[in-house]
Amino acid sequence: MTRQPLFLTLMLVIILSTFASPALATVPAPDSEGGIPEIQRPWTPPAFRDPPPSLGPFNYVREFVQMTDFFATWQLADPDSSDYGGMIEAEAGYLGDVIQTDNTLEAIWCWSRYREFSGRDTYDENIAAAWIYCTRYPAWNEEGGVGQDYYRVHNCAWGLTAVLRYKAATGDDSFDAYAVTCADYIAAHPLDLFSGTIYDRYLNAFVQGWAAGNLYLYGEALGNTSYMSTAVQQGNTIRGWLDINPSTYMNAEYWAMSSGTAVWGVCNSTFRDGHPDTNWWLTMNYAYIPTWVDWYNVPGYDWDSSWNVAYLNAHFAIWDLMGEQYMWDNGKALTDNLLSLDTDDDGGIVAETQDPVTEDMSWVTCYLVKFGVDRLMGEPLAHDTGVLKFIEPLEGQVFDQGEIIPVRFIVTNYGLNDEYDVELSWSDTGMPGIMDPVDLPFGRQDTISMTSLPYALGNVDLSASTNLTGDENPANDEATVTVFINDLTAVAEDRFCGMEPEVTVNPFRTETGFNFSLATAADVTLDIFDIRGRRVTHLSGRQLPAGVNTLIWNGRDNEGRDVPAGLYLYRVNSGELTGSGKVLRLR
């Protein structure tokens, strides 16, 4: 798609939903008077709620790799198109044919970071194509009416962080002039936070936060005190806007942003400069920042995933300044719950939780990579594999003794190297063993399926681990889940013909023996029952001498067929019941 038809062909409702629309800052509002911002929103958000259940834990290296693969899928690859190298906003839906500069700069950041931490040139061609698009449609020339600079400022901030990351990853300074133009544009175009509609004010405050923080970080990287000073001035303005009513303005949402972006901007401009009010101000206001906000109807834009990404970015920014563990934990929880929206496991997430998973958005996925996944991933080790988690059974799940337990767990590569023939170990309490090895290339994971038949009663630990030579982080090698095994003999009198087994369980694989004593020679019978009380084997009419004797069962039924793994009960009879017990056929 070319740029010009965006304004000519899309319906108004679609135009109002794209990043590039100049109409975003002038959406009609119920209350549109100017002056100091209203204390109350013209819409009512839901109360803060607990976030949805997480599908974690996650291997953040794997998530990062999968997400960068997703971006590559949605980059326009047609060299004959004027939009060559641009990033498509969505895999389907009303943004499925929209291409924008900010989306493309975001992808450059992600691909460059991938190159930086992995040392791999997988996306070098994607990066080169993306720069072609971004220089053809530079950030400072994006859409917007006279006096409506928010979108150009927003894109220029992405230009700064993209150039810094690209240069760090490649050493290439070819786009330094691009970044300088972006920085100069941000410095020369401060946004108005105190006039226009309530929507204008929210939008400008959020975008200004994003711009001020990035301008300061860019100036810091260059040693440019002029950029840093300008960023602090803009940060002070944002802080003043937030201070008008923190209980409202610290948790507001609009467009693709939320107050989390404004707070992040203050943290990375005013407070990064060492302001003496830093700890006091953050302590006074931190509780207003949501740990999860549910979807609700904001006029025009309901991109709740993006709102929550901005909030996690704020939690992490405050953690950088104060170092309180709960701030890190809040950022991590938000990241994990957003990753859990990828239920089709394709690397993309929806911008709006009301949308189907087939309409993932590249831009909000890029946000999540930069603000959450990258931070939690850190700097991966060279060699590091482990068991990520059990899928089944669930922690605390209850099984009957002899019931075969289906087991699935995920093994993963946390490290940078491709790993092959990784050894797996398994234990279900007392029965350790080695499983078939697995291959775990960089950024990949595999699901292992098997069954377990533990012979212990009560709480039983099922554990799996990887055994990699040279593994640099043994702490994540093993995962364990505890299940509870019921003792079926508590109901044996009702279910097994009056038997009262007294002998402890006797596990075997191919055959097992039953020991008993006879006072005198006698005819002896042996009966084997399954856990439903059905007799599977009957041996009769065999006379044995007085003293200690042993009967052997080869694990077959009366038809000569191997019985399946599981719990069985036996009864030895010599005219009167002389012995009974449990026996466990192992897999």
Domain range annotation of the chain: 385-486, 488-585
**Fold topology of 385-486:** Immunoglobulin-like (2.60.40)
pLDDT, position 366: 98
Class of the domain covering 488-585: mainly beta
How many whole angstroms separate alpha carbon 83 and alpha carbon 76? 7
* pLDDT of 152 higher than 80: yes
The string of pLDDT tens digits covering residues 295-325 is: 998 877 889 999 999 999 999 999 999 999 9
Phi/psi for 312 (5° steps) reads -65, -35
* pLDDT of 500 higher than 70: no
The string of pLDDT tens digits covering residues 548-578 is: 888 888 999 888 898 888 778 888 888 765 6
316 alpha-carbon distance from chain centroid: 16
pLDDT, position 44: 59
* pLDDT of 205 higher than 50: yes
Any residues with CB less than 8 A from the CB of 581 and at least 6 apart, and which? 501, 502, 503, 504, 505, 506, 514, 569, 570
* pLDDT of 49 higher than 80: no
Mean pLDDT of the chain: 86
The string of pLDDT tens digits covering residues 82-104 is: 999 999 999 999 899 999 999 99
pLDDT, position 587: 66
Alpha-carbon distances of 142 from 75, 148, 256, 366, rounded to whole Å: 19, 11, 17, 20
Least confident of 227-231, 326-330, 492-496: 492-496
Least confident of 216-225, 354-363, 525-534: 525-534
Which pLDDT band, with edges at 50, 70 and 90, does 134 fall under? very high
Which pLDDT band, with edges at 50, 70 and 90, does 270 fall under? very high
Q: Alpha helix locations (H) across 191-324? A: 198-222, 225-244, 246-249, 259-267, 278-285, 304-322
pLDDT, position 45: 61
| Mean predicted confidence (pLDDT) in 364-391 | 98
**Which three-class secondary structure state does DSSP give residue 180?**
helix
Closest CA to 360 of 374, 373, 341, 379: 341
* pLDDT of 6 higher than 90: no
* pLDDT of 495 higher than 50: no
Contact 484, 399 (CB under 8 A): yes
pLDDT, position 149: 92
Core vs surface per residue 433-466: b (16+ CB within 10 A) or e:
eeeeebebebbbbbebeeebbbbeeeebebbbbb
pTM given for the model: 0.81
* pLDDT of 10 higher than 60: no
The string of pLDDT tens digits covering residues 408-443 is: 999 999 999 999 999 999 998 655 678 899 999 999
* pLDDT of 333 higher than 70: yes
Contact 510, 554 (CB under 8 A): yes
Least confident of 44-48, 372-376, 401-405: 44-48
* pLDDT of 347 higher than 80: yes
| Mean predicted confidence (pLDDT) in 329-338 | 96
Least confident of 69-78, 141-150, 327-336, 577-586: 577-586
CB-neighbour burial class of residue 326 (10 A; exposed 0-12, middle 13-18, buried 19+): exposed
The string of pLDDT tens digits covering residues 466-479 is: 999 999 999 999 99
pLDDT, position 489: 54
* pLDDT of 157 higher than 80: yes
The per-residue DSSP string of 312-340 comes to HHHHHHHHHHH--HHHHHHHHHHHHHHHT
Alpha-carbon distances of 445 from 205, 336, 389, 398, rounded to whole Å: 41, 17, 11, 28
* pLDDT of 2 higher than 60: no
The string of pLDDT tens digits covering residues 14-30 is: 222 232 322 222 222 22
pLDDT, position 430: 57
